[in-house]
Chains A and B, each alone.
Chain A
């Protein structure tokens, strides 16, 4: 029997998944505390002991692969030229690489910006600016600013290729690791973030893993391959696109509401689903990840309440204002809180629906009618996700919810907001065993096994109740 061990070094838990590579099924899961601050092995050993209990002894693993979001995740600063162009392309590349964006800068860095980047102390800086053959002054100015600053972290350079050599020489002087790669925006109509993503992942494996003390577990694992959000995106990508010999599910969306942020991943071209629609803005990444730092179920409850309103939230939870307020204050008092009472569960349901609703609205593209002298024209910004076939929920807030379908339904088309290009009639499913990250990791070595495991464990929600319209109707009746 061949078994793969997939590890997620999280900020709270060290999570393990043991996959049987012959039957392509999950054998066992286990978790221990996250102990990256002291010795990462303590939590890992605890989790491994539990896994051994579950399996009746630890098998010898064919692969032992890990992802990490511990020790603050992969903190990145991006720098570009025009905010809507190379600066945006840089953000897309960093998010796609699983980074936690702590700052995004555009145009020339000022002295104050320099101080800010120093204070942010990122793990990696992604330096972009100018299309190939385009502007070179600004990225050179910004490289000089980095070179003379106290910033010593690795720099990935993905701007106008004409000045890449010069920039590498300039930045290498401070004994920094400098990683040159292809321009994220070689031409205005071409987004090319894959090379930058690969470079970021490479730096992550070579440098960040040891800088954060994750490599102390190197005797127990083979590789720490990528940040956990990148592994989830990769898992979503193989599920959608398929792998050699396996047909994928087609375009899909993954929503992941967490304690501090809500992530949305979409895989697909996002081209207009109706003829005659004109696209506006930068090309969109095939695998797109957005992170809403203000939509956390625990750490940012106040922001969700501010966005939705306490009365709406209470009504959505089926609670009175006072009951709702009480439940919210208990959440705010303890971010570790798991819902114990019915009221708390109802409140959590309302919070997660609000977070998913807003996060999906921000992730999905929009279409608006522009009236011209030649008649009305439809203009699309962002990705058209209306024809997406699947919406998949992952993370405890969805998986442990009483009615996951009611949460995923709010990610779909909303008649009150017809300009939002959200999935219209997708199938709804849950990553019930939290396997997407594990599949994303395993895909680096055995793509077919990774696909099969992810596919086998996708729990399709009851089709009778998973029609978004009927769920929304029942939600509103409640």
Chain B
């Protein structure tokens, strides 16, 4: 069969010591970068880009790709251990993963994250091989109206992210939408809400907000409580997921893989949205949705699989059409161009050894990551045994370094500090931070897609309903909103009667 022949070609090209070493180096660096909060794969890839010029194109791409999906593996580590997302895509893992760690189940959480990532990564590679070209062409048909409807659907997911009152979740979402508008308008260029401060002209960055809202807030809340109780249960159960954990997680992993891959293909889509979507899907399919947020393993398995599958999906537009779907793919594209390789619609035909070599390397890389991460679980878990008064200055230090390393400006630190205190207040009054983050991520995309759609339609709102894909997505969004409002509506008459 032609597919097997191509795979054999790929592996034969891969099995040179230099390529294997590049793969290992890439995933190692990627894991480290993922674990460190703030430093993202984009920064690491752009720093290491010059070193790839001396290597052959295949070796270079293998290493850079390894950094990318390695970072998705590592990002879950700090999310689970100390509630700081190492990667923006790991924000959702904080919700249940950290709670699992507090209950002494950090080992299973880390384990299921690693295994789920491996399964999802493998799935996305297989899918990449099999269905990439037709899916990529379909992705082209996604224009601004479809994006808008999809993002609107994403906003509806909010109702599934909160553990408490829905009204409060929506309030936080509104705040997130607002914060996303700060900065220079991308359509007309007006400066909004910047108060003449230059640093705000580019907007409020996602990473400082997330690190403040999740990392610093958690530290503040825990300092207050550490005098009365232990933060982490010192008795740790097994280091690896039990059979029961596996039984609960296998379906979320599969669902997350499929969802993540599909969402990863869309240019501009990506790992963050897929992880949020997977969390919502798991909550919807669960028999005990109210327990989400207290340490449900499905809430870790699904999102972690989704964000790894999304990295595989992100390669699809690049390798099949030469279109990068996010900033990191753009870097890879640039690296290829400098080597004289021109990715485009005929990439597979013109450079078969490159294409199949990269695909084979992704298999091997995923395997390497699993082997790397599993033994490390024991090590990571030991960190939790540190007394909290010793641990939290380290956490704060890592947050500061991570945030400063983004832009070398102190303004990001102020933002992180502000959101740290805001998050503390939010915790006291029982407001959730996750809807804020999701809304912040979606806000620029929704707004841009909305205005681009209206420009396309000369101002007519019908465009969202006249195109089939957009109509379907809108319909689903309305259904989701209705289904989440229904219990609330049903309750009202009863309360009225009681009064």
A-B interaction? no
